[in-house]
Amino acid sequence: MKSLRKYLDNIKPQFEKGGKLEKLHSTFEAFESFLFVSDKVTFKGSHIRDSLDLKRTMSVVIIALVPALLFGMWNIGYFHFKSIGMEAGLWACFFHGFIKILPIIAVSYITGLGIEFIFAQSRGHEVNEGFLVSGMLIPLVMPVDIPLWMVAVATAFAVVIGKEAFGGTGMNIFNPALLARAFIFFAYPGRITGDFVWISGLTGRENIVDGFTGATPLALASTGAALPSISDLFFGFVPGSIGETSKLAIIIGAIILLISGIGSWRIMLASLTGGLFMGYTFNLIGANHYMQIDAITQIAMGSFLFGVVFMATDPVTACQTNRGKYIYGFLIGMFAIMIRIFNPAYPEGTMMAILLMNTFAPLIDHYVVEANISRRLKRAVKTVKS
């Protein structure tokens, strides 16, 4: 460790102002603060409220994602062996999933971080940790059989158009991971919809045992077929995108986010209420078989919980005001169920709902603040008069 520190100190002057590698300053910075704690200190008075900086925040979210990721790996292996009619043990399933998912994660991180480095370099600011979570979320919302180049193109689109065009980390309007998924959804719809993409090795449609389909619960629901039991849905014994299957793993993640105070409980609670409200409303209407599905089952299907816990709560794209968060969350829950039921061609209503509400988040904030101002103004006028 000491020799590494020495080496970095040795080459450091080259990257500082006037050094011959000055242009690569932000790259050096990034590696230095990745390896060691940055030795930079503030010169003027600082305003520290909390020891929680961007790096900590991002690491906690990554930790919260781990249960969903690990379960996703097992789930991928489990369904792969089931589809070819083989019995496999816990580790065999897990290992198969691991081999399948690792390249997707690698591609997502390499593309995303590569672009971040280039932009930081050309703009002369430091590389920050903004992509760490997006880079992990992108693989988790993909189907396992997605071609790797598509992951790279989608990640590049999300980072360049969704983030860098707006000014980088913290300035983006849309959640980058969802943007990447939406990109694939519209650009290559055949790779992210249908019954064959969710299980590894099924796209070739060979060696499948009779009677096995890879249909997700949402696909089953839209055709009116029998749904998996609620416990299967809850524990995640159903096909789906890599990270979304197990509600249990997502709830563990949610608890980590809530205890550490990073995820907003207001948004989670409001979204859940919105989803249940819409679900029960449709239950009351009951016009078709999709509407008759119990609201609890609706919530347990698809990526509703995953989106609500990890994406709706993204502090950059969500509402900032507390009252705004309730409205924002409630509408996400409502729209997610509504899109899903009214348009079975878009089974992933959650994705659309969150992206839609991302657009409206600043507007909601604006009116919440305005309402607050006018209320306080009225009160002030009253006290002056009396």
CB of 324 within 8 A of CB of 147? no
The minimum distance between CB 151 and other proteins, in angstroms, equals 13
The minimum distance between CB 184 and other proteins, in angstroms, equals 9
Q: Round to whole Å and give the CA distance between 76 and 91.
A: 12
The one among 147, 194, 228, 344 contacting other proteins by CB under 8 A: 147
Instruction: Identify which of residues 153 and 262 has a Cβ nearer to other proteins in the complex.
Output: 153
Could you tell me which residues come within 8 angstroms of residue 187 by beta carbon, excluding any fewer than 6 positions away? 150, 153, 154
- The number of CA neighbours under 13 Å toward the Cβ of 84 is 17
Q: What Rg, from alpha-carbon coordinates, does the chain have?
A: 23
Q: Which stretch binds other proteins (CB under 8 A): 96-104, 187-195, 219-227, 244-252?
A: 187-195
User: Which of 273, 269, 265 has the alpha carbon at shortest distance from 295?
Assistant: 273
Instruction: Identify which of residues 21 and 165 has a Cβ nearer to other proteins in the complex.
Output: 165
User: Which of 144, 155, 82 has the alpha carbon at shortest distance from 116?
Assistant: 155
Task: Show contacts with other proteins in window 227-256 (CB under 8 A).
Answer: none
By CB under 8 A, is residue 188 in contact with other proteins? yes
Q: Which stretch binds other proteins (CB under 8 A): 9-17, 69-77, 148-156, 315-323?
A: 148-156
By CB under 8 A, is residue 352 in contact with other proteins? no
Q: Which stretch binds other proteins (CB under 8 A): 149-157, 170-178, 271-279, 369-377?
A: 149-157
DSSP 143-198: -TT--HHHHHHHHHHHHHHHTGGGTSTT--SS-HHHHHHHHHHHHSGGGTSSSSSS
The one among 4, 11, 165, 225 contacting other proteins by CB under 8 A: 165
Instruction: Identify which of residues 43 and 186 has a Cβ nearer to other proteins in the complex.
Output: 186
Task: Show contacts with other proteins in window 189-218 (CB under 8 A).
Answer: 189-191
Work out whether the CA dihedral 312, 314, 317, 318 comes out positive or negative: positive
The minimum distance between CB 122 and other proteins, in angstroms, equals 9
Tokens of 256: 């980590």
The one among 28, 74, 78, 183 contacting other proteins by CB under 8 A: 183
By CB under 8 A, is residue 156 in contact with other proteins? no
Q: Which residues bind other proteins (CB under 8 A)?
A: 147, 149-150, 153, 161, 165, 183, 186-191
